[in-house]
Structure 1
Amino acid sequence: MPDDGSLKVTPQPVRRQVEDRLREAIVDGRFMPGDHLSDRLLCELFGVSRSVIREAVRRLEAEGLVDVLPNRGPFVAFLSPAEATQVYEVRTVLEALAGQGFAERASDEEVAELRAVFEEIAATRPGTDRTALLRLKRRFYDVLLRGCRNAYVARMLDQVLNRNTQLRATTLSDPKRLPHTVAEIRRIVEAIERRDREGAWEACRDHVTQAARVALRILNQQAREKAETGSRDPAATAA
Structure 2
Amino acid sequence: MRRVADQLEEQIVLGLLHPRERLVEDDLCERFGLKRHVARQVLSEVERRGLIERRRHVGALVKSFSAREVAELYALRELLETDAANRIVFPVDAARLDELEALQAQHDAAAAEGDLRRVFRVNMAFHRAFFALSGSQVLVDAIHEYERRTHAIRSVSIVFPPHLEKARAEHHQMIDALRRGDREGLIALCRAHLVPSRDAYLNAYHQRSAAAATFASFTGNGDIE
Alignment of structure 1 residues 152-167 onto 2, 5 Å = 152-167=138-153
Matching of residue 97 in structure 1 with residue 90 in structure 2: no
Q: What is the alpha-carbon distance in structure 2 between the residues aligned to residue 217 and residue 153 of structure 1?
A: 30
Letter in 2 for 1:199: G
Structure 1 window deviating more from structure 2 (162-171 vs 101-110): it is 101-110
| 5+ long unaligned stretches in structure 2 | none
Q: What is the alpha-carbon distance in structure 1 between the residues aligned to residue 13 and residue 158 of structure 2?
A: 14
Matching of residue 150 in structure 1 with residue 143 in structure 2: no
* Cα shift at 1:84: 1.0
User: What's the RMSD between the two structures over aligned residues?
Assistant: 3.4
Residues 49-74 of structure 1 deviation map (CA, whole Å, 9 limit, x = unaligned): 32343344235435431121222211
Q: What is the alpha-carbon distance in structure 1 between the residues aligned to residue 11 and residue 49 of structure 2?
A: 15
Residues 32/130 of structure 1: CA separation in 2 closer, same or farther (3 Å cut): farther
Q: Which residue of 2 aligns with 1:36?
A: 22
Q: What is the alpha-carbon distance in structure 2 between the residues aligned to residue 136 and residue 163 of structure 1?
A: 18
Secondary structure of 1:74's match?
strand
| 5+ long unaligned stretches in structure 1 | 1-13
Counterpart of 2:94 (choices 99, 108, 111) is 108
Matching of residue 72 in structure 1 with residue 58 in structure 2: yes
Residues 176/136 of structure 1: CA separation in 2 closer, same or farther (3 Å cut): same
* Cα shift at 1:174: 4.5
* Cα shift at 1:23: 4.0
Residues 151/166 of structure 1: CA separation in 2 closer, same or farther (3 Å cut): same
Matching of residue 86 in structure 1 with residue 72 in structure 2: yes
Given that residues 27 and 162 in structure 1 are in contact (C-alpha distance below 8 angstroms), is that contact kept between their aligned partners in structure 2? Answer: no
Structure 1 window deviating more from structure 2 (171-180 vs 137-146): it is 171-180
Residues 167/102 of structure 1: CA separation in 2 closer, same or farther (3 Å cut): farther
Q: What is the alpha-carbon distance in structure 1 between the residues aligned to residue 133 and residue 10 of structure 2?
A: 22
Q: What is the alpha-carbon distance in structure 2 between the residues aligned to residue 209 and residue 237 of structure 1?
A: 32
Secondary structure of 1:167's match?
helix
* Cα shift at 1:105: 8.4
Alignment of structure 1 residues 227-238 onto 2, 5 Å = 227-233=213-219
Counterpart of 2:203 (choices 217, 225, 234) is 217
Residues 82-122 of structure 1 deviation map (CA, whole Å, 9 limit, x = unaligned): 21111110111222233344564864223112123334445
Q: What is the alpha-carbon distance in structure 1 between the residues aligned to residue 216 and residue 41 of structure 2?
A: 34
Secondary structure of 1:78's match?
coil
* Cα shift at 1:215: 3.6
Residues 190/20 of structure 1: CA separation in 2 closer, same or farther (3 Å cut): same
Secondary structure of 1:68's match?
strand
Residues 8-60 of structure 1 deviation map (CA, whole Å, 9 limit, x = unaligned): xxxxxx6x666555445534555332332111122234444323433442354
* Cα shift at 1:138: 1.9
Q: What is the alpha-carbon distance in structure 2 between the residues aligned to residue 116 and residue 221 of structure 1?
A: 39
Given that residues 103 and 191 in structure 1 are in contact (C-alpha distance below 8 angstroms), is that contact kept between their aligned partners in structure 2? Answer: no
Q: What is the alpha-carbon distance in structure 2 between the residues aligned to residue 181 and residue 199 of structure 1?
A: 16
Is the radius of gyration larger for structure 1 or structure 2? 1
Secondary structure of 2:50's match?
coil
Residues 155/113 of structure 1: CA separation in 2 closer, same or farther (3 Å cut): same
Q: What is the alpha-carbon distance in structure 2 between the residues aligned to residue 229 and residue 221 of structure 1?
A: 12
User: What is the aligned residue count?
Assistant: 224
Question: What percent identity do the matched residue pairs reach?
Answer: 25
Given that residues 14 and 158 in structure 2 are in contact (C-alpha distance below 8 angstroms), is that contact kept between their aligned partners in structure 1? Answer: no
